[in-house]
Amino acid sequence: MTHLWWARRDLRLHDNPALIDAQADGPAAAVFAWTPALHFWSGRRRAHLARTLWSLRDSTGGALAVRRGEAADVVLAAAQEADAGVVLAAREFSPAGVAQQEAVAAALEAEGRELRFVGSPYAVAPGRVTKGDGTPYRVFTPFRDAWRQHGWRQPADAADPRGFVPLDSDVDLDQHAAHGDAEDPLLEPHEFREQRVLDALESWIDDALIHYDDERDRPDLDSTSRLSVPLAFGQVHPRTVLALTAPKRSDGSRVFESEIAWRDFHADTLWHEPQARRESLSRVMLEEDWVTGREADQAFVAWRDGRTGFPLVDAGMRQLAQTGWMHNRVRMVVASFLIKDLRIPWQRGADHFRRTLVDYDHAQNQLNWQWVAGTGRDASPFFRIFNPEAQLDRHDPQRRYVQRWVPELDTPDYPGPMVDHKAERETTLALHRRAKDRG
């Protein structure tokens, strides 16, 4: 009997345990559900997804079926067509992912078929790393230490690109990519071919990993891995990344490994506390002290459009608008500015990132915003307020980054600072103290 691979956030042939298991007894069928929820994605994310699926279909000789409909209906129909008694898939842990896989499992079970989970998008799946009493870690450093001690498996072998039973598709991926580009254009598409992603990773490890500890906070240098998009779409597994970086045994590789641990920590947090997707896990200001209404709307537009008068903030927001990506150090600076200089709630910034990031990942986005806001697990203290001018001096000393994205800098066309950072910092800290005094 044929097995069916339900492709989800694991769009690759290398190191894909669910696909390997599906092919264990011979050629497998494969399906991806193009669900109605995808139409709430930004055009740029849908375009990248369409290209990634096109590349994967091409790698499998056109065998991967991409079909329109709710996941439960699509997977069940594909299982019926392939006469598959077992469907293999990677387990998801986000609230939406869990609800989707429960619906698929119920539809299959009603016909005597089984949904079997193999692997996840994480080096160590949420819920696996716990304290001795079985409770989750709330602080990152001990989580990371226990995460390292827990360890992870070696990467799986590559699947057989010829080991598929073909199923028909009813989604025009070229059309979706073109529509996404027209709706939400970028300077250029992100890499969507699996082998090129792996080649770029190995090249980065050989050339830049050794400097990662020193240069990861420099947006003017091309020193980061650029793995956030491939990880978000499952074009590469973090276990593959760790297997390639660990043998380097440098400060850079250890720091980079910690970044992978943060990814798992945020997923673990959302798994244990699903309300963190919209709710602050702790309060840092009274509700009435956040800026709302017309004043907030005007300030938000200036932030969104990169017209705040603070070059590093503006450069980051323009890079995001034009490329769908932003350097991680700059993400922290722009988030801090929105929350602590403009006093606009983090949820509004998180929603904008959801609409504009190609590498959008729900757990990472929401919990990273909560980290900056000081409201999440082991978050940056609320009183830590980034000074955007000092951050510029420290991390873009020759102004190469800001000059690239803000070409009118140092001309009359560039606006002055929209706020007095020092004054806003003092006001925000006073409001924070008031919230603490009220418990």
Q: Which amino acid is present at 214?
A: D
Q: Is 212 annotated as a binding residue?
A: yes
Q: Is 361 annotated as a binding residue?
A: yes
Q: Is 360 annotated as a binding residue?
A: yes
* CA angle, residues 239, 242, 245, in degrees to nearest 5: 155
Decide: residue 254, CB within 10 A, 0-12 exposed, 13-18 middle, 19+ buried. middle
DSSP 223: -
* Residue closest to 169 by CA, chosen among 299, 99, 74, 102: 74
Q: Is 225 annotated as a binding residue?
A: yes
- 32, β-bridge pairs: 7, 66
Q: Is 342 annotated as a binding residue?
A: no
- 86, β-bridge pairs: 114
Phi-psi region of 78 (alpha: psi -120 to 50; beta: other; left: phi over 0): alpha
- How far the first Cα of the chain sits from its last, in Å, is 62
Distance from C-alpha of 147 to C-alpha of 209, rounded to nearest angstrom: 21
- 33, β-bridge pairs: 67
Answer yes or no: are the C-beta atoms of 350 and 339 closer than 8 Å.
Answer: no
Going by C-beta distance under 8 Å and a sequence separation of 6 or more, which residues neighbour residue 171?
34, 66, 67, 68
Q: Is 228 annotated as a binding residue?
A: yes
Distance from C-alpha of 264 to C-alpha of 258, rounded to nearest angstrom: 10
Q: Is 393 annotated as a binding residue?
A: no
Q: Is 282 annotated as a binding residue?
A: no
Annotated binding site for FAD: 212, 224-228, 256, 359-361
- Detail the residues annotated as belonging to a binding site: 212, 224-228, 256, 359-361
